[in-house]
Every structure is written in structure tokens, then in C-alpha cells.
Amino acid sequence: MHSFDTPSSTTSDNESKGAWWKLLTRYHWFVLAVAALGWLFDCLDQQLFILARPAAMAELVPEREGVSQKAIEDERKLAGDISTSIFIAGWALGGLVFGMLGDQLGRAKTMMITILLYSLFTGLSSFATGVWDFALYRFLTGLGVGGEFAVGVALVAEVMPNAARPYTLGLLQALSAVGNVTAAFINLGLGLAAEEGLAWSPWRIMFLIGALPALLALVIRRNLKEPEAWQKAQEQKGTKKQLGSYTELFANPTYRKHALLGLMLGCSGIIGLWSVGFYTPDLIRAVQTPSVREDVLNQLSANHSKETIERVKLVITNVENPPTLNEEERQVQLEAEKRIKGRLTRWQSYTSLMINVGAFLGMFGFGALAQRVGRRPAFAVCFVAAFVSTVTVFYTLKELWQIFLLVPIMGFCQLSLFAGYAIYFPELFPTRLRSTGTSFCYNVGRFVAACGPLIKIALDRMYSGPDEGRWTGITMSFIFLLGLFILPFLPETKGKPLPE
């Protein structure tokens, strides 16, 4: 027996009167909370991976005798990019499979399965011993991560009153920033602890924490009910239309058009975020390394001779033919490297925090803007803003104060697009195909996005020099403008009920 009053999905639309939140019952709020937590923990996992990636690669690709430090760093960078591509590919595949199952099995059941899946393999990622088993765990995690979004937004879209739908879906996406912020705080705390010394690698602890969302599946199993619209579609199964059928999705000319154009719309933001935006913490880590290294060595110089500090500096700055250190100098090197890594992790965490402070405001703001001016105009504004803000950040980011000014603006603009996807994609498809169509638009784009890190590798090699990351990011930012060319061919859905 459910402990909430379950509303009819055909809630009366005296909805235009009063604030949107006054339209919601206790059960509406419960559904929103469960869907938001599922997506929040999903995004927590994504962000833990982004923040843990450099440290994980540093441990999983160890230094080897006879191999230069530069070659090792290049190998780690390549391994990180390949792991990212494999994770995104798993995300895309999971989205396709579980999006279809969300229509066939139901929103609540499928959400529970996806949460258990990504929780289990996030936890197992902490036990990786090499790059390839780490990548396998990330692929399997991606299956669950990819499946959760489509069933979550379909659930919320079908349960909420029409007038409240864009606001609740915008809030659902905005709350995902809380998951990202939580990951940044976890990373920050572990970075500070690492400076003092930890028995276990911080990145392994982060992935263990990422296994906790499995507990949410118990709440879903106990209290969450399938939407009335889906139940009606289920009753008609076999007599009229198929549920969760890609064949039917592409046999219908209208839905086929919506799926293919929606896919391209999704690609614009997804590739831009995963191949550009989420490398901003890596960028700040790279540009701050020389100054952080100098500060740490200056601090250590109070307790060690100038000659010792200079010899250690030659080793940790990766000069050719570095000197061989004695035991005392080797201990100074290890202490310096520990402090440098901890401090860089701290600044990386601040960057992630600022991205997500902006993201929260941008995603919730998109819902309000889309309800006022329409879905397509809101997307157009955000695509242009994402392009301009990203180019600005990658061209200018250098000083620490810029993290707290420019990075939140970029996060606001880039992540607002994802609230748009949560609001708009469910409005393009009928109930029997809603999870399937939404997942196709949102997740097939990740197969393309999985190639993004590989394109990034090629561009990094083309743009040689210390600023290669900047020019790679600027070049790839043009993907945000792709969405502008797609919008005229898609329908405006503002003020229209969900298609049945």
C-alpha cells in the first residue's frame, strides 16, 4: 500500500492560475524527489569519474624504468581519453537498451535496475588494477547511467500537471548539479586529506562512495507507482500499438523526424559538454601547475638547502637528463609532489564547484525561459551563449580569480541546454514511445560524443605547445552552433499537452 495519494495523470488544467508549485500534491513531490535523487546520484557518478580520472591514470599507468616522464604523461593522457570514450559508449548503449525497457517494463522498475547497475560498478571501479579493467567497470557503469535519464524524465513528464511540467523537469535537471557539487566537495575533502597523507588512494575512496545510491532502489521498489498514462498504454499492448519499439519509432514519419533531429540537437550539447566543458578542471590543473610547484618548493626551502631544492626542482619539472637524487633529496621530492597534487586537486575541485553553481541556475532558468518564450527560442539563446562563454573561458582562463567569475557563467550556459533536453524530448513522442524516443535523442548522441575525446587527442597533437589544450577546446566549441541549424526543422511544443 502506498503512503501517498496518487493523482490522476489527467490532472485538471485550472493550471494556468497561480504558481506552478501550488498544483503539486504530496505524491507529485515524492515522484519528483525520487527521480531527482536518481539523476542526482547518476551525475554524482559522472563527476566523480571526471575528477578522479587524472589521479586514477597516474596510479594505473605507473612510471617505468627507461621510459621518460614526458612519455609516461602522454600515455596517461591517452589512457584517460580512451577510458572516457569507453564510458560514454556504455552510457549510449545503456540509454538505448533501458530507454526501450522503460516503455516495456515500466518507468519505476527500469529506474530501479539502472540505479543498482551504476552503483555496483562504480563501487567496483575502486578495485581496478589496470587501465583496461578500469575501463570495463566504467563501461558497465555507463550502461546504468545512460538508462536512468530517459525513464526519469518520462516518469516526471507523465505524472506532473501540464503547466508545472517544464518547471519540474527544469528543477529535476537543476538538482543534478547538487550531485556534481557533492562530488566536488568529496574530491576537495580527499584532496586536503591527501596533503596530510592517506592510507588509500583518494580516487578509490571516491568510487566506493559512489556505490551508496543503491539504497535508493529500496525506496523506489516500496513506494513508486507507474504513471497512469503508461498503465493505459500497457493495457492496449498487443491490440493497438507496441511499447518501446524502435521499429515503430522509425516507421512513423513524424516520430522518425523528431528522433533524428532530436538526436542532432542532443549531440550539440552533449559533445560540447563532455569533449570541452568537462575538461575545464583539467585545464586549470595544467595552467596552475607551474605556480603551485613554485609555491610548494618555496615553502620547502625554509627547511632544506637551496642546492637541494634546485636539484629537486630539476627532477619534478621533467627536464631532460635530470640529476640523480640522494636519499634526502628523494624524500624532499616525494613531499613536494604530494603537496603539489593535493593543491592542484583543490583548485580542480573549486573549478568543478563553480561550473555547477552556474549549472544549477542555468538549468532551472531554462524551464522558466522555455515556458515564457517557447522551447526553440530558449534553445537558440543557450546555444549561442554556450559557444561564446566556452571560447572565452578556454582563451583566457589563467588566474585563480577567473575560476569564480568566468567558469560559473560557462556552466550556466552549457548546462542550461540539458534542462532543455529534459523538457523538450518527452514532448516529441507519445506515451508508448516516450522513454524510447527520449533515450534515442539523448543517448545515441553519446556514441558520437564517445569519439570526442579521440578528436581531442588528434587536435592536441595538431596544436603543439603549452597552449594546445586551449586551442583544442576553442576549436571543439563550434559544436554548440550545430544546434542552431537544427531548430527550424523541429516543432514548437510550448503550451501543448504531451502526445498520447
99-128 residue pLDDT tens: 888 888 888 889 889 888 989 999 999 999
**At a CB cut-off of 8 Å and minimum separation 6, what does 440 contact?**
95, 96, 99, 246, 249, 259, 262, 263
Burial of 484 (0-12, 13-18, 19+ CB in 10 A): middle
Weakest-pLDDT range from 74-83, 265-274, 352-361, 442-451: 442-451
pLDDT value, residue 418: 92
pLDDT value, residue 40: 86
pLDDT value, residue 265: 94
**Which domains are delineated in the chain?**
20-224+244-489 (1.20.1250.20)
pLDDT value, residue 196: 65
pTM of the entire predicted model: 0.77
Q: Per-residue pLDDT averaged across 216-245, rounded?
A: 74
Whole-angstrom distance, CA of residue 223 vs CA of residue 401: 46
**At a CB cut-off of 8 Å and minimum separation 6, what does 276 contact?**
390, 394, 473, 476, 477, 479
pLDDT value, residue 255: 93
Which one, of 18, 133, 38, lies nearest residue 79 by Cα?
A: 133
337 against 254, higher pLDDT: 254
Q: Per-residue pLDDT averaged across 422-451, rounded?
A: 85
The pLDDT confidence band at residue 500, using thresholds 50, 70 and 90, is: confident
Locate 153 and state its grid cell: 524524465
Locate 500 and state its grid cell: 498520447
**What is the percent of the chain where pLDDT is above 70?**
89
Q: Per-residue pLDDT averaged across 178-187, rounded?
A: 85
Whole-angstrom distance, CA of residue 147 vs CA of residue 115: 9
* pLDDT, tens digit (0-9, with 9 covering 90-100), for 342-377: 788 788 878 888 988 999 999 989 988 998 999 999
Whole-angstrom distance, CA of residue 333 vs CA of residue 322: 13
Whole-angstrom distance, CA of residue 401 vs CA of residue 347: 11
Q: Per-residue pLDDT averaged across 205-226, rounded?
A: 81
Locate 469 and state its grid cell: 589544450
Q: Per-residue pLDDT averaged across 283-297, rounded?
A: 83
455 against 146, higher pLDDT: 146
The pLDDT confidence band at residue 18, using thresholds 50, 70 and 90, is: low
Over 70: is that where the pLDDT of 464 sits?
A: no
Weakest-pLDDT range from 41-50, 64-73, 449-458: 449-458
Weakest-pLDDT range from 9-23, 77-91, 405-419, 426-440: 9-23
What's CA 414's distance to the chain center, in Å? 11
Amino acid at 463: Y
Amino acid at 266: G
- Other beta carbons within 10 angstroms of residue 182's beta carbon come to 18
Over 90: is that where the pLDDT of 16 sits?
A: no
pLDDT value, residue 14: 46
- Other beta carbons within 10 angstroms of residue 145's beta carbon come to 32
The pLDDT confidence band at residue 145, using thresholds 50, 70 and 90, is: confident
The pLDDT confidence band at residue 22, using thresholds 50, 70 and 90, is: confident
